[in-house]
A and B are shown apart, each in its own frame.
Chain A
Amino acid sequence: MSAISSRRKPPRVGDAPWVRRSLIGFVLIIGAFLVVAPLLVIAVEAFSQGLKAYAATINHPDTRHAIMLTVITALIAVPINTLFGVAAAWAITKFDFWGKRFLLVIVEIPFSISPIVAGVAYLFVYGLQGLFGPLLDAYEIKILFALPGIVIASMFVTAPFVARELIPLMQAQGRDLEEAATSLGASGWRTFFSVTLPNIKWALLYGVVLCNARVMGEFGAVSIVSGNIRGQTNTLPLHIELLYHDYQAAGAFASASILAALAVITIIAKVALERRGAGRGRKKLSAANAVATETIS
């Protein structure tokens, strides 16, 4: 059982061999069913009609457009979200002000809200029956059923991601380093780039990677705001749905395989970054990630 054979240690709770074996077995079996099998079935179904059919689907103009739309959305939404996340983390962790806890809760809200609700909410702001609908229509500005709508709906859904990674970490790091830098004469920007940023860079990257994965995979909210127009406003997840309901299962899985591959890459990146210390701040405080702890020095 244990790979360490030369050192005997008294058994801890749950170290009895039969407990170990059955728990590990239980976990591996269900894990295989629930988590590994979906990945496998995607691969299998994607290539079920052969390599040529796979390539044909990927190269189809609609698929290519969907990929491009997904990528562009990510290229816009993720950097903006990152800037926001950094600003929010800086404001919340380096200062004390009234309403800080409340702000933290609001930042975390999108995490708890169904993407459908998000989509509907956006409809009621920018859609024809929404707040700005008539105004936008008058100026012929298209937000919904076009790229802008997709982008901001995606930003809603992923708004907390970067902030969530940074805040517990920066909270734990305290303000000493920044105070030291300021006392040595550094300006705000200099302090941030030379002192703060290097110490949060892995957590930042981690948040960006997660944010990106979510943006590219967003389905519910984008379903509503995009209008679902094939070849024009379908992101890749929507394209997958379209193909699936068109009885082009193999095609749907082929497109899905791209996103599945992205998910695998995301996980690899996540592991690599965790090795460098990202996510640890969140893990340690994950039981209290929405509670801003105040410190009076």
Chain B
Amino acid sequence: MKIRLQNVVKTFDTFRAVRDVSLDIESGELLALLGPSGSGKTTILRMVAGLEYTDGGQIYFGETDATNIPVRDRGVGFVFQHYALFPHMTLNENIAFGLKVSRVKRNRAEIDARVQELLRLVRLEGLGDRFPAQISGGQRQRVALARALSVDPKVLLLDEPFGALDANVRRDLRRWLREIHDELGITTIFVTHDQEEALDLADRVVILNQGEIVQQGTPKEVCRQPNSAFVMTFLGDTNKVSGIAKNGKVYVGNTEVQFAYGQADGPVEIYARPADLEWEDLHDGIPAQVTRVLDRAGERRVIATTREGDLLEFDVPPESSVEAGDNGHVVIRRAKIFPAAARA
């Protein structure tokens, strides 16, 4: 089912949570809505579900204008952040709920069969008679998914599905969600503030900030070609160095940084991942002094300060002899350069 949002707006009292968002979601796609808290991603998800109504704009399910259709009739499967499993029902009864209240009448045997099928899908067969309180967080999340799938939804919506779980459990569930999606082929949208999760799972990532879409694309596209400092810093560890652009070249202090920069002269900010910086004693680079060295398993992380006062973090080989107090140069191998933001 293809989903289209067109100029969608949502305001809470005076807070504009979602400002004029337009988005196309292809049928069968696994899409991530990624952004910091307050970016409007959960609100958008809930509007697609019908758990909030838009204050402006339309939402289309396929060719149908679903903007005013109540949640009950939209045929969405919603997985809540805190699972929202019915505590007084067994897992079997939880999953069966949507089937029992459905307009399509099924008999007892059909419902039971479907419930068992779903339990198998989420690898919880045999636990059907337990209560939500008796299973782990990761298992609850799987039951919530099974329940959402029970109504054969046109679109699957997940609100921070793995937010409340341990890091290891999250990684496992992530992998497993991808498998399920590939097997079933349902259009899926999930909301997260964890960039690793979004990049790992999604076919396409939509990055939101303060109610607007900042960038969208495949994980590769948004990682390799971030269109703004915000996207760059949000997607991963970044080093920032201030510089000046003059006549198409970029300078940090007196050092020329070898990157093509086609925009106007003026102050710029240079963003580089830790992996794209190297420490050199002798060659050209940005002069800096090491302030701290952090030893970790498998790597040594160096924190150095440039003459201009910028802090840089990068890794050196574990056997390197760099120590705090050393003077040297930092060479930037790859970077993204953006005009310096106007001081807001």
Interface residues of A (CB under 8 A from B): 176-177, 179-187, 190, 194-195, 198-199, 296-297
Contacts and interface: CB of A to CB of B under 8 A. Distances in A.
Contacts of A176: 80, 82, 84
B51 interface: yes
B98 A184 contact: yes
B101 A190 contact: yes
B88 to A, nearest CB: 4
B37 interface: no
Given A182-B71, A187-B101, A177 B86 contact: yes
Given A179-B51, A179-B80, A186 B87 contact: no
A178 to B, nearest CB: 9
Contact of B97 (A181, A187, A198, A297): A181
A199 B97 contact: no
Q: Which 10 A-B pairs have the closest CB atoms?
A: A184-B98, A176-B84, A180-B84, A198-B88, A186-B101, A183-B78, A185-B101, A183-B71, A182-B72, A182-B71
Contacts of B103: 185
A182 B75 CA distance: 11
B84, B88, B102, B151: which has the most chain A beta carbons within 10 Å? B84
A185 B75 CA distance: 8
A150 B11 CA distance: 49
Contacts of A182: 70-72
B80 A180 contact: yes
A183 B51 CA distance: 8
Contacts of A183: 49-51, 71-72, 76-78, 148
Which interface residue of A176, A185, A195, A296 has the most chain B CB atoms within 10 A? A185
16 contacts: A176-B84, A177-B84, A177-B86, A179-B51, A179-B80, A180-B78, A183-B72, A183-B76, A184-B97, A184-B98, A185-B72, A185-B103, A186-B72, A187-B72, A195-B86, A199-B88
B314 to A, nearest CB: 41
B147 interface: yes
Contact of B147 (A184, A195, A297): A184
Contacts of B70: 182
Contact of B151 (A184, A187, A195, A296): A184
B144 to A, nearest CB: 8
A15 to B, nearest CB: 34
A57 to B, nearest CB: 47
Nearest to B103: A185
A217 to B, nearest CB: 33
Interface in B34-50: 42, 46, 49-50
Interface string B63-92: 000000011110011101010101110000
Given A199-B87, A296-B12, A186 B97 contact: yes
Nearest to A188: B72
A199 B97 CA distance: 16
Contacts of A185: 72-73, 98, 101-103, 151
Nearest to B95: A184
A181 B102 CA distance: 11
A101 to B, nearest CB: 15
B159 to A, nearest CB: 10
A179 B147 contact: no
A184 B101 contact: yes
Nearest to B13: A296
A199 B42 CA distance: 27
A183 B156 CA distance: 11
A181 B86 CA distance: 9
Contacts of A297: 42, 46
Nearest to A195: B86
Nearest to A190: B101
Contacts of A181: 86, 97, 101
A116 B275 CA distance: 80
A254 B228 CA distance: 85
B26 to A, nearest CB: 23
Nearest to B12: A296
Given A181-B86, A187-B72, A195-B86, 6 more contacts: A177-B86, A179-B84, A184-B98, A185-B102, A185-B103, A186-B101
A296 B73 CA distance: 24
A135 B78 CA distance: 57
A190 B73 CA distance: 15
A166 to B, nearest CB: 16
Contacts of B77: 183
Contacts of B76: 183
A182 B101 CA distance: 10
A194 B99 CA distance: 14
Which of the listed residues B78, B87, B101, B102 has the most CB atoms from chain A within 10 Å of its own CB? Answer: B101
A182 B148 CA distance: 12
B98 to A, nearest CB: 4
A198 B102 CA distance: 21
Contacts of B88: 198-199
Interface string B172-204: 000000000000000000000000000000000
A97 to B, nearest CB: 13
A181 B46 CA distance: 15
Contacts of A184: 97-98, 101, 147-148, 150-151
Contacts of B46: 297
A180 B147 CA distance: 10
Contacts of B80: 176, 179-180
A184 B80 CA distance: 12
